[in-house]
């Protein structure tokens, strides 16, 4: 297992901008507006498994929620860059653990998961990151992180992705990301999406699933606690960036 690789100052600056009032990463990037207010369609949205034809919707939703749940289009020179990092790999490499919320206007939300985070990261290292590293160079070594553009922050993360440490992978090997457009927020779709993924992870015999939530974001923390996640003690290596809390769910416990 390679050593954990990250650039704390740069990654923290990106996560602070991306999730300052909602949630994180991912990753994952990633738990931004599944629980927050906004207009919604309660009657027609449905949760269904991801299809290959949904890939462009993953890119679009990732961008349209990429600034603390708001549209990040104006922040990025490349509109697909966020999706390259936070969304597309799951649809391409873990499609059985991807679910979408779809209403009359189309796909308006998703939840994306990886069964074995270590294996997923190794797959990205061998088959996904190399071509992206050629397209998106790492920021110049002499340029301070405080002067990086949003595109350069993501490029740096592509070149130096966080790697889950063995101790976390042993307890909670799976992880997830969730995003919803405003029209589908505050309508129970975040809970339903999460339930669909948890059921799928249990069906694949995952021991547990983890995610990260920004410190001070009690709304996000409360959302995940209500779903059955517990806040966990975390070492610095178990956090993709400073300023995050670690949450996990034991999937071998009685449901």
Write out 190-232 in H/E/C secondary structure.
HHHHHHHHHHHHHHCCCCEEEEEEECCCHHHHHHHHHHCCEEE
What pLDDT is attached to residue 6?
Answer: 32
What pLDDT is attached to residue 253?
Answer: 77
CA proximity to 155, closest of 176, 133, 173: 133
What pLDDT is attached to residue 216?
Answer: 79
Q: Is residue 1 part of a domain?
A: no
pTM, entire model: 0.84
What pLDDT is attached to residue 254?
Answer: 63
What pLDDT is attached to residue 34?
Answer: 55
The SS3 assignment for 17 reads: helix
Q: Is residue 255 part of a domain?
A: no
CATH label of the domain that carries residue 103: 3.40.630.30
Structural domain span for residue 34: 8-250
What pLDDT is attached to residue 217?
Answer: 79
What pLDDT is attached to residue 33?
Answer: 52
Q: Is residue 175 part of a domain?
A: yes
The SS3 assignment for 130 reads: helix
Q: Is residue 159 part of a domain?
A: yes
CA proximity to 157, closest of 56, 59, 26: 26
Q: Average pLDDT of each block of 10 consecutive residues along the chain (255 residues)? A: 33 42 36 47 78 98 90 97 98 98 95 98 98 97 95 97 97 95 88 97 98 86 93 95 94 77
The Cα 39–Cα 183 span in angstroms is: 5
What pLDDT is attached to residue 246?
Answer: 96
Domain count for the chain, please give it: 1
41-51: b (≥16 Cβ within 10 Å) or e: eeeebebeebe
Q: How far is CA 204 from CA 115, 200, 251, in A?
A: 8, 6, 10
- The strand pair at 174-180 and 208-214 is best described as parallel
Q: Is residue 178 part of a domain?
A: yes
């Amino acid at each position: 297992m390679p050593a954990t690789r990250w650039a704390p100052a740069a990654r923290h600056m990106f996560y602070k901008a991306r999730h300052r009032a909602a949630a994180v990463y991912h990753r994952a990037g990633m738990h931004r507006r599944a629980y927050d207010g906004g207009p919604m369609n309660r009657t027609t949205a449905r949760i269904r498994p991801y299809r290959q034809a949904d890939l462009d919707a993953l890119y679009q939703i990732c961008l349209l929620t990429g600034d603390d749940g708001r549209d990040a289009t104006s922040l990025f020179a490349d509109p697909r860059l966020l999706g390259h990092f936070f969304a597309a790999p799951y649809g391409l490499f873990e499609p059985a653990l991807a679910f979408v919320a779809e209403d009359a206007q189309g796909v308006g939300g998703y939840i994306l998961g990886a069964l074995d985070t270590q294996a997923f990261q190794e797959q990205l290292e061998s088959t996904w990151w190399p071509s992206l590293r050629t397209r998106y160079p790492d920021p110049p070594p002499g340029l301070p992180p405080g002067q990086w553009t949003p595109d350069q922050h993501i490029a740096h993360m592509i070149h130096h992705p966080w790697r889950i440490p063995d101790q976390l992978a042993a307890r909670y090997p799976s992880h997830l990301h969730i995003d919803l457009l405003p029209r589908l927020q505050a309508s129970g779709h975040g809970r339903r999406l999460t339930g669909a993924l948890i059921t799928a992870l249990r069906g694949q015999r995952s021991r547990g699933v983890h995610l990260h939530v920004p410190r001070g974001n009690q709304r996000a923390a409360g959302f995940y606690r209500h779903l059955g996640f517990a806040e966990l003690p975390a070492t610095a290596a178990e956090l993709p960036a400073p300023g995050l809390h670690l949450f996990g769910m034991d999937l071998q416990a009685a449901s």
